[in-house]
A and B are shown apart, each in its own frame.
Chain A
Amino acid sequence: MEPDYKVIEDTLIVYPPQELDHHTAFAVKQYSEEIIRKGMIRNIIFDFSNTTFMDSSGVGMIMGRYRLIQEKSGYIGVRGVSAAIHRILELSGLYKLVKVCE
């Protein structure tokens, strides 16, 4: 099983839960906020390898982290994106804000 997150230098790698909705997005927001507040995180990579479902609550959560990271001139990355998650990222326009890192 993957951990919830991993820190590599100034990059926080987040492994969102299998289903990223309003119910689960809050926990992701909370722990990433905590780590960002403590450390010298500049970038966040969302690794969706284990995530099969995401709705607009996940989009809102990513946008929230984007605002934070922008202040530090970092970037938001995504990887492990399935066809379902890809459609959500595309429709919401998130690909304009995040970069794909495989």
Chain B
Amino acid sequence: MEIQEMVMEFDSSSSNESFARVAVAAFAARLDPTMEEITDIKTAVSEAVTNCIIHGYESTEGKIRVECKIQNDELFITVMDRGCGITDLEKAMEPLYTSKPELERSGMGFAFMEAFMDELKVSSMPMAGTIVQMRKKIAKKPEMV
């Protein structure tokens, strides 16, 4: 069984959103994902990282840590912040719920992560931060004949 890992940490600036999703997609490329799977991964990463910036750090400075692991044909992604945390996690995960409607948030972030990945786990501690863990299986493509 082969395991490959990648870790990165970057500033909570919105310009890093595209950097983060491209980096994770590049790491995932070794699983030979389809275009659709790459878009799924990019969207999920974009949602998790954007949440750290807007909600976790409320647009102040902080560090975001992203850990990726490939194990067999599965991709594991963890996105972490040490921001304000989430007090009511159940409510936060409801589709369309947002605590920042004034910022034109749609409240669809967690719903997209759930839809585009096979598994989503969120743990959070108020005043300590939030950890988002996601898993996606990348189906093996049939050999070309």
Contact = CB atoms under 8 A, between A and B. Distances in A.
Interface in A66-101: 83-84, 88, 91-92
Tell me if A's interface is mostly helix, strand, loop or mixed: helix
Interface stretch (A7-15, A34-42, A43-51, A53-61): A53-61
Given A19-B18, A92-B106, A55 B36 contact: no
Nearest to B13: A23
B67 interface: no
Interface residues of A, number: 20
Given A22-B53, A83-B36, A55 B46 contact: yes
Contacts of A53: 39, 42-43, 46
B92 interface: no
B104 A29 contact: yes
Interface string A5-35: 0000000000000010111010001000000
A77 B115 CA distance: 25
B54 A22 contact: yes
Interface of B: 14-15, 17-18, 36, 39, 42-43, 46-47, 50, 53-54, 98, 103-109, 111-112, 115
Given A22-B14, A63-B104, 17 more contacts: A21-B17, A21-B46, A22-B54, A23-B17, A55-B50, A56-B106, A56-B111, A57-B104, A59-B106, A59-B108, A60-B103, A60-B104, A84-B39, A88-B43, A91-B111, A91-B115, A92-B108
- 5 closest Cβ contacts across the A-B interface? A60-B106, A23-B14, A56-B108, A59-B106, A64-B104
19 contacts: A19-B18, A21-B14, A21-B18, A21-B46, A22-B14, A22-B53, A22-B54, A23-B14, A25-B104, A29-B104, A55-B112, A56-B50, A56-B111, A59-B106, A60-B104, A60-B108, A64-B104, A84-B36, A88-B43
